[in-house]
Amino acid sequence: MKKLLIVLVLLAALPARAEDVHVAAASDLNFALKEIIQDFEHSTGNKVLLSLGSSGNFFAQIQNGAPFDIFLSADLNYPRELEKSGHAMAGSTFVYGTGRIALWVPARLAVNLEKQGMQALMDPSVRKIAIANPEHAPYGRAAVAAMQHAKIYEQVRTKIVLGENISQAAQFVQSAAADIGVIALSLVLSEPMQKTGRYWVIPEDMYPRLDQGAVLLKRGGPAARQFLDWLKRPASKQTFKKYGFN
């Protein structure tokens, strides 16, 4: 009996087995979320396996049984719909931030963003404009809305090149496949883009509000729940704020 008690005490003292958390996230979170994940893994010992892409594509994949535990969407409606359809835990959706869009140009392009604003897209030096595909990327829809608000969409639509997601749209401009991008502020504020170009934040009244939501999916276990709670911590909120989320 004494030996059994000693064994039980030793087992109780052992750390819980680390778990993997499979996270699907909108690609505008590339830099912010990786910082949060690093802190989470260091503090808990759990491992986050991150997949980045367009919110609409992930939404469809999850509906078709993709093995994710948590979904961070650039459109709050997607997590809400997953709750309604039973693919996510009821009541687990929450807003982690409100995204913004910006014009970004590489240093090589001689346009005055502060002076021209959205009219920079009409500049003769701009031959290609990168945005995310509006069919499945909320940031692409916001980009189109901003151009329509500025009454320039019809004039520039033939210049538009579509990225599969907002990260790919940013890569198009960085690699000179496009001259200017209408992209997520969260990417623009990253160190690589700060060093290589200039940006102008598009006024928020020019496009629909980009409330972004996270949700715990049906297959999410204890570690996934822990990560969802981690996203709500003050330190995580500060990281989102650092990358331009309201």
DSSP track, 108-138 = TS---HHHHGGGGGGSTT---EEEE-TTT-H
Q: Is 179 exposed, middle or buried (0-12, 13-18, 19+ CB in 10 A)?
A: buried
Q: Architecture of domain 10-98+210-242 in CATH? A: 3-Layer(aba) Sandwich (3.40)
Distance of CA 174 to the CA centre of its chain: 18
What is the pLDDT, as a whole number, of residue 156? 97
pLDDT in tens, the chain (246 residues): 554 444 343 333 334 567 899 999 999 999 999 999 999 999 999 999 999 999 999 999 999 999 999 999 999 999 999 999 999 999 999 999 999 999 999 988 889 999 999 999 999 999 999 999 999 899 999 999 999 999 999 999 999 999 999 999 999 999 999 999 999 999 999 999 999 999 999 999 999 999 999 999 999 999 999 999 999 999 999 999 999 998
- The reported pTM is 0.86
- Distance, CA of 245 to chain centre: 10
Q: From edge to edge, which strands make up the β-sheet containing 70-73?
A: 47-53, 20-26, 70-73, 210-216, 94-99
In the chain, the amino acid numbered 61 is: Q
* Residue 219: burial class (beta carbons within 10 Å; 0-12, 13-18, 19+): middle
Amino acid 55 reads S
Domains 10-98+210-242 and 100-206 share a fold: yes
With beta carbons less than 8 A apart as the criterion, state whether 165 and 27 touch: yes
CATH architecture of 100-206: 3-Layer(aba) Sandwich (3.40)
CA trace torsion 222, 228, 231, 232 (10° rounding)? -100
The ranges assigned to domains in the chain are 10-98+210-242, 100-206
Q: Which helix (H) or strand (E) holds 225?
A: helix 222-230
CA-nearest of 232, 219, 233, 224 to 20 is 224
Rounded Cα gap, residues 90 and 218, in angstroms: 9
> Is the distance from CB of 134 to CB of 143 less than 8 angstroms?
yes
Tokens 């189109």 sit at which residue? 144
